[in-house]
Structure 1
Amino acid sequence: MITLKEALKLSKEELAELKKDLAAKIEENSEINAYIDVKDFGDGVPIAIKDNIQVKEWEITCASKILQGYIAPYNATVIDRMLEKGLSPFGRTNMDEFAMGSSTETSFYGKTLNPKDKNRVPGGSSGGSAAAVAAGLAVAALGSDTGGSIRQPAAFCGCVGMKPTYGRVSRFGLAAYSSSLDQIGPMTQNVEDAAILYDIISGHDPKDSTSASMVYSPVASNLNPDRKLKIAVIEKYVKDASEEVQKAYRKAIDALKKEGHEIVSCELMDAKYDISAYYIVATAEASTNLSRYDGVRYGFREKADSLRKMYFKTRSEGFGEEVKRRILLGTFVLSSGYYDAYYLKAQKVRHLIKDEYAKVFEDADLILSPVAPTPAFEFGSKKDPLEMYLSDVYTIGVNLAGLPAISIPVDETEEGLPVGLQLIGNHFEEQTLFDGALSLERALG
């Protein structure tokens, strides 16, 4: 598949041919179910769009029954910025319903398959975007990352996935799951393409009150893989990962050392606290954000003989099981008598996590970490929700702290499954993050 950097140099005629070839290839590989719908927005370089990012006059459903028939009346800011720079949306990619999941199994449109092994999950919630890029069904894609939803599917499918610093990319037009955690980011074939797409979608947006108001410096044109960095490793984190992940970790450390980077050891609190804090904060915000889906203003509505029954039937039948589970959890932790015991305490833990990362970055430029405890797992292998939630153990701390991170392919298992690792950067240090990632990518060949 042509890279984003190469595609930006194509003529209109060549772009038209590229889109024709892409559409044919998507049709040939329809069993992967990476796309919900293939639609061409305009003349630019085709970019696949996760089904929770608004594209004007497209049906945008967050892979949920409750939003069937909703037509976006406006573009998300990231879409407008793409159009300004010669890119255009090309199809909606499948995802876990309302971005709640780690496997893209909860979609109303059915599961997406991992193109590397169709018996395994592509990761989630941006599984469709990752599968599309990895299978050569997209030049590049946009995903969203609330607790690892860009980085984990990228690691499972063998592509690059980058989560920016919270506030660096506008959330205007992104369907909200957890407003203090959500962030849009690029999913690409290589690190340089990720930097190019990141540059295009980044920057302050007055339409987003959480957007960082600061001078933006381009990253892609200043990439420097020859910079020598101090990279921290967290030994106790890796001990809980599978042997395949540990092997990839050792391989990455050796590659970074050969590139001249300094490796230092650091400590962070037990990641079980990340899990606990995240699933309180995220579900609380989800409970509030998803209250707007009532069957009155847009989307699916169930018939009933009273308004109260209509609300009940619409939400009961419109939401899938995982979404209902998280709404109930969030409503519980926000309820009278439990707010202080759960939600307030989780916010305090969140500040501790942020402070711990800040302490590490006093002495290091980047942190090297696993993305997931294992490579892509088989469909149905996670027997209960808690087991699924634990697959996010290495990624959610980054969201709680609002940090940037990038997942890149590092190794393969004996079965040929990709193993990705992530580099984590300090707030608004995307240049350092991309420089380190490009250096690691180059060292791995």
Structure 2
Amino acid sequence: MSDLTNLTLKAAVDGLKAKDFSSAEITQAFLTKIEAANPTLNAYVEVTADKALEMAKASDARLAAGEGGVLEGAPLGIKDLFCTEGVQTTAGSNMLRGFVPPYESTVTANLWRDGAVMLGKLNMDEFAMGSSNETSAFGPVKNPWKSNGSDAELTPGGSSGGSASAVAADLCLAATASDTGGSIRQPAAFTGTVGIKPTYGRASRFGMVAFASSLDQAGPITKTVEDAALLLQSMCSFDVKDSTSLDIPTPDWTQSVGKSVKGLRIGVPREYVVDGMPAEIQALWDQGVAWLKDAGCEIVEISLPHTKYALPTYYIVAPAEASSNLARYDGMRFGHRADEFKSLDDLYATSRAEGFGKEVQRRLTIGAYVLSAGFYDAYYVKALKVRRRIAEDFDNVWGQVDAILTPSTPSAAFALGDKQIDPLTMYLNDVFTVTTNLAGLPGISVPAGMDSGGLPLGLQVIGKALDEATVFQVGAALERAAGFTAKPGKWW
């Protein structure tokens, strides 16, 4: 039998239903592979082998009885900010080390309802704050890809670096992830995988460790667009426990994959041509336009004039919300408590200094500053007004186009340690992705080509709110045209 870990999620689910192999077999195959690879790649922070085999055994019993859900017996990785009952959840931070939730996040509960198997918890930037997975308290994740002729270790992107690395290295069939400013789509682009952020409110945030509540959204990282449609469908649901959850049915998005895109109008925003963008990124974007034109799409040049304000707006709104959300981790109510302190104030200060890493501290400081008296109107209120303008830019073009095509990232994966010195350079990684979070829109990254060093590059499709169907339709058309089948060479 060929290596079960190479299968796509769809092929694995079909194979399990056809009884070509058992859930116990494919789960054990992944656990064996994780044991060999994880000491090098550091994608998993906790491997739940016993739990996985127990869940697989229960799935096999259901499959034998002709029962089972849409993901029955499929082994998945779970980003470590989804609370998992009885399994440590840390959000990549020392602040939450040792926290074992007594409850399950709605997203993971949906997956277990549909029969999925949990292989373990995946590494991530601390509290999802980062674009390279270097802020994790568990150390950086390594990208399974390496540039031709170079032995430099590369970032898998962030904050969902563990999810992207695990999927690219075949350490799970697919993985859950989350996206606040690009944390699904940028790692997917860096690792040759598919990642989609759905419309804000599609997936429940209950049981997800919060970063910025008006921006955070759960989504999958997978090997194919069809797998992304299948997994996202399971993850999304209405949830009374999340006040921002949308009370609408979840469509069968797998039906959109493979549908003709003939007649669709695809927008190309002129503002996404940024200074210093590598020629390879522009060439890939041009190639994407040509592919969609060949498939029968009409290409329309559009303008999203407030795009240039998206990054500064994001880096005011997100830290402000983080500052508010993370105030609860004070050593008294929640989180790490310092052993030595001189007063109550000192307890708060020392617990937070010991529990939070440097990047989280930086963002909390920015957030506290922009929310403080005297600066609230000048920064935070102004940022909210600009955010509204960015959303209106999109509203104004939906009459002309059905979806928008852009690059996913301004470069291929960079070396670990490369951008650590300069946080601003790191923040620029999100230049093409933050607008969709600010406007609450769905966006998918599809692997579409390679740079001169043989590293994967992605194209992004942005859709109207609640129109993931068209996003999947266009994403699948790009996937077919690109024919991207490259895998990283094994060095770990």
- Per the alignment, residue 468 of structure 2 pairs with 430
CA offset digits 1:417-443 (Å, max 9, x no partner): 000110000000011110111111112
Query: Does 2:22 match 1:14?
Result: yes
Say how many residue pairs are matched: 445
Please state whether the residue corresponding to 1:47 is helix, strand or coil: strand
Please state whether the residue corresponding to 1:184 is helix, strand or coil: strand
Query: Does 2:263 match 1:263?
Result: no
Spell out structure 1 runs of 4+ moving beyond 6 A. Answer: none
Partner amino acid for 1:258?
D
- 2:7 pairs with one of 2, 5, 22: 2
Q: Distance in 2 between matches of 1:346 and 1:92?
A: 35
- Per the alignment, residue 376 of structure 1 pairs with 413
Distance apart, 1:254 and its partner CA:
1.2
Distance apart, 1:113 and its partner CA:
0.8
- Per the alignment, residue 165 of structure 1 pairs with 199
Please state whether the residue corresponding to 2:22 is helix, strand or coil: helix
Q: Distance in 2 between matches of 1:14 and 1:442?
A: 30
CA offset digits 1:50-97 (Å, max 9, x no partner): 110011111000000110110011111111111111113221111100
- 1:406 pairs with one of 429, 438, 444: 444
Distance apart, 1:239 and its partner CA:
4.6
Please state whether the residue corresponding to 1:283 is helix, strand or coil: helix
- 1:80 pairs with one of 109, 117, 124: 109
Q: Distance in 1 between matches of 2:241 and 2:304?
A: 36
Q: Distance in 2 between matches of 1:411 and 1:235?
A: 22
Select between 120-129 and 10-19 the one with higher mean Cα deviation. 10-19
Q: Is contact 1:177-1:289 (8 Å) kept? A: yes
Please state whether the residue corresponding to 1:344 is helix, strand or coil: helix
Query: Does 2:242 match 1:208?
Result: yes
Unaligned 5+ runs, structure 2: 1-5, 57-72, 147-151, 484-492
Please state whether the residue corresponding to 1:104 is helix, strand or coil: coil
Partner amino acid for 1:423?
V
Q: Is contact 1:178-1:283 (8 Å) kept? A: yes
**Alignment map for 1:106-145 (pairs within 5 Å):** 106-117=135-146, 119-145=153-179
CA offset digits 1:374-405 (Å, max 9, x no partner): 11112222231111111111110110000000
Please state whether the residue corresponding to 2:212 is helix, strand or coil: coil
Q: Distance in 1 between matches of 2:287 and 2:255?
A: 29
Query: Does 2:220 match 1:191?
Result: no
Query: Does 2:43 match 1:34?
Result: yes
Query: Does 2:134 match 1:105?
Result: yes
Select between 33-42 and 76-85 the one with higher mean Cα deviation. 33-42
Select between 23-32 and 315-324 the one with higher mean Cα deviation. 23-32
Distance apart, 1:202 and its partner CA:
1.2
Q: Distance in 2 between matches of 1:254 and 1:215?
A: 35
Q: Is contact 1:239-1:246 (8 Å) kept? A: no
Q: Distance in 2 between matches of 1:149 and 1:280?
A: 17
**Alignment map for 1:38-437 (pairs within 5 Å):** 38-39=47-48, 40-41=51-52, 42-43=55-56, 44-117=73-146, 119-228=153-262, 229-240=264-275, 241-269=277-305, 271-303=307-339, 304-382=341-419, 383-437=421-475
Select between 217-226 and 116-125 the one with higher mean Cα deviation. 217-226
- Per the alignment, residue 66 of structure 2 pairs with none
Q: Is contact 1:404-1:425 (8 Å) kept? A: yes
Partner amino acid for 2:161?
G
Distance apart, 1:305 and its partner CA:
3.7
- Per the alignment, residue 60 of structure 2 pairs with none
Select between 255-264 and 293-302 the one with higher mean Cα deviation. 293-302
TM-score where L is the length of structure 2: 0.88
Distance apart, 1:322 and its partner CA:
0.3
RMSD of the TM alignment (CA)? 1.4
Q: CA 1:287–1:298 in structure 2 vs 1: closer, same or farther (change >3 Å)?
A: closer
Q: Distance in 2 between matches of 1:354 and 1:417?
A: 33
Unaligned 5+ runs, structure 1: none
Partner amino acid for 2:7?
I
Partner amino acid for 1:6?
A
- Per the alignment, residue 487 of structure 2 pairs with none
Distance apart, 1:275 and its partner CA:
0.6
